[in-house]
A = this chain, B = another copy of it.
Amino acid sequence: MDARRFAALSDPFPMWRGGVLHGGRIAYETWGTLNAARDNALLLFTGLSPPAHAASSGEDPADGWWQGMVGPKLAIDTERYFVICVNSLGSCFGSSGPASPDPATGNPYRLNFPDLSVEDIARGGHETVRSLGIERLDTVMGPSLGGMVVLAYAAMFPKGARRLVCISGTMAAAPFAIALRSIQREVITRDPDWKGGGYPPQRPPITGQRIARKLGTVTYRSAAEWQERFGRSPIRADMGSKDPFASEFAVQGYLESLAQRWVNVFDANCYLYLSRAMDRFDLAAHGDPVALLRGAALKAALVIGVQTDLLFSVTEQQAIAAALEAAGVPTRFAPLSCIEGHDAFLVDLKTFGAEIGGFLRAG
């Protein structure tokens, strides 16, 4: 069962760093009902890897990536809001990206897909919203990569949303995060099976992808959480091997099982494009961030950060909140003490739900 809809992008769709996309589309899902005034829409951007399926629905009862957060009477209350979640442009879950067919050739774009930026993801979401006849969003929201996208959205589409919720994002990719992401990309591009991006779909650079995902998992969590969760427990006997450097600890088995799952669903070139887009993001490329945020004419903002986040430090969240405040936007800044690191928004639904639900209800 598939609850996705597709919005056709303008043709040509202008890419932020140059070049255009022809015949592009955005996959999205919706929950709730758009009211007659068309002013109760909430646009949700995702992190790097999820699809548009944020939560179950009648059309697709499978759990979504933010199951428990989006739904009737939940923090993002679908009885009140018309929620739209988009699969990012450049991803591989229905939106156009390096894995989708190039209309010019019928073959996958691969590295012929134009340079991708966070700004293009924002524009893809914006065109999706407009295709639904919505002039102004009630709220634009996103975690992680999505937290970058919402800032670009505010800068690029003044008055595009009344409110903004930025979760563990950043105004400009930090060198520490760039270092980690560039190592992940290098592991993939150095895998002989990557073949300069030209791997056949049935034979992707699995080793590189597995290792990149393991590193991703480490950067998404925290040392304190894993001490509690795994300690020094040994790996399950059935996951052992005779390799002298085989995994010995439960934490290694956990990394491996998540990596295996990811390799089978995410396209390597799409990952490379999205990862590089994150490194390149710098809101200041659009102008003075405070002036941009003032121009966005937001009525309120919520900025959430996590003290244990290694990848998008709480200092960066503080800077976002400070820029919003300086722009005259009434802003709640919530630096949370969750121990789950960057991924806390996916794990600690109670704490995040209270912040997000409280903010949305107050508006």
Residues of A within 8 A of B (CB): 111, 172-180, 182-183, 185-187, 189-190, 192, 197, 207, 211, 214-215, 217-218, 221-224, 226-227, 229-232, 243-245, 247-252, 255, 272, 276, 279-280, 282, 310, 313, 315
B218 touches A249 (CB 8 A): no
Which listed residue, B173, B223, B229, touches A232 by the CB 8 Å rule? B173
A111 / chain B contacts, CB cutoff of 8 Å: 244
Complex copy number for this chain: 2
With A176-B218, A249-B279, A252-B178: A223-B313 Cβ-Cβ less than 8 Å: yes
Nearest CB on B from A209, distance (A): 12
Q: Are A232 and B175 closer than 8 Å at their CB atoms?
A: yes
Q: Bound state CA distance, A226 and B230, in angstroms? A: 30
Known: A180-B218, A247-B182. A190 touches B211 (CB 8 A): yes
Q: List 16 A-B contacts (CB under 8 A).
A: A111-B244, A174-B223, A174-B226, A175-B226, A175-B249, A175-B251, A176-B251, A177-B223, A179-B255, A180-B218, A182-B255, A183-B211, A183-B214, A183-B218, A185-B245, A215-B215
Q: In the bound complex, how far is the Cα of B247 from the Cα of A224, in angstroms?
A: 32
A113 to chain B: closest CB distance in Å? 10
Question: Contacts A172-B232, A174-B226, A227-B174 given: A245-B189 contact, CB under 8 Å?
Answer: yes
- Say whether B183 contacts A207, CB under 8 Å: no
Contact indicator A276/B245 (Cβ below 8 Å): yes
Residue of B nearest to A313 (CB): B223
CA distance A357 to B249 in the complex (A): 39
Whether B231 lies near A183 (C-beta < 8 A) is: no
Q: Which 9 A-B pairs have the closest CB atoms?
A: A176-B223, A175-B251, A175-B226, A175-B230, A176-B226, A179-B218, A190-B207, A179-B251, A182-B252
Nearest CB in chain B to that of A272: its residue? B245
Contact at A175–B218, with CB atoms within 8 Å?
Answer: no
Chain B contacts of A279 at CB under 8 A?
248-249
CA–CA, A315 and B192, complex, Å:
41
Which chain B residues lie closer than 8 Å to A173 at the CB level?
Answer: 232
A277 to chain B, nearest CB (A): 12
* Residues of B contacting A177 in the complex (Cβ-Cβ under 8 angstroms): 223
Q: Please name all residues of chain B whose beta carbon is closer than 8 Å to the beta carbon of A211 when the two chains form the complex.
A: 183, 186-187, 190
